[in-house]
Amino acid sequence: MNVSLASLQTTLGYEFRDPALLRQALTHRSSHAFNNERLEFLGDGVLNFTVADMLYRRYGQAPEGDLSRMRARLVREETLAEIAQRLDLGSELILGIGEQRSGGFRRASILADALEAVLGAIYLDAGFEAVHVVIRRLFGDFLSDELVREQLKDPKTRLQEFLQGRGKALPRYELVLEKGEAHNKSFVARCHVEGQQYQDAEAGSRRKAEQAAAALMLEQLTRVES
């Protein structure tokens, strides 16, 4: 194995028994039919379970909804790409000519997929405990009390703080539709933000519908900024 891949393994804190697995994990579909897509699929599953396990054990009193939001934050593309950049994974990617020319080694989606593929490769190479150790180390910095405080806030609060931090007007909510029988009602709420299209969401209560609409709006605004 070349020096750079040896260096990557040192940074990962894991040495492959079968180096071919690491090469496959770094091979993008634009380069070869024998690529990292299957390993990415496997790594995604391993990562989601491991992060769920970490959160479940660390935050024993947090309800399911809060745990789900924290996990989504930890396994989202932006976080995975940031970790991949820390590992300098981009410099080791095996890309097709087109992706090389277009700067694919810097693209967040490609970096995130490659990181998941590497995790899948570690799982195949040495089993669950080995990849569990690597994931705990790579994601430890992101599992902070600050993250928890941020994610435990409800979406309406987070949206309000997001807008206030940018000097923008506060969101406005309205009930668009109420339907169903008295024992099984459904509510559609709309979230308006100045300068943006509205977001609608449906839930079993007006409050939950507004929270869901706020979450969608915050996701949209965050995506626009990134």
Nearest to 200 by CA among 222, 180, 173: 173
Is 181 annotated as contributing to ligand binding? Answer: no
d(CA 127, CA 103): 33
> Is 174 marked as binding a ligand?
no
Measured at the CA of 44, the angle between CA 65 and CA 6, to 5 degrees, comes to: 135
Question: Contact, 75 vs 115, CB < 8 A?
Answer: no
Instruction: Please report the beta strands in the chain, taking only residues with DSSP state E, as ranges in sequence order.
Output: 172-179, 186-192, 199-203
Q: Is 116 annotated as a binding residue?
A: yes
Among 15, 18, 37, 44, which one carries the catalytic annotation? 44
Instruction: Classify each residue of 79-117 as buried b or exposed e, where b means 16 or more C-beta atoms within 10 Å of its C-beta.
Output: bbbbbbeebebbebbbbbeebeeeebbebeebbbbbbbb
- Measured in whole angstroms, how far is the alpha carbon of residue 133 from the centre of its chain? 19
**CA–CA distance from 95 to each of 36, 116, 174, 215 (Å)?**
11, 16, 48, 36
- Catalytic choice (92, 99, 116, 210): 116
Catalytic, 116? Answer yes
Dihedral sign (CA 157, 162, 165, 169) = negative
The answer to whether 88 is a known catalytic residue is: no
Residue numbering of the annotated binding site for Mg(2+)? 40, 113, 116
Annotated catalytic residues are 44, 116
| Residues flagged as binding site | 40, 113, 116
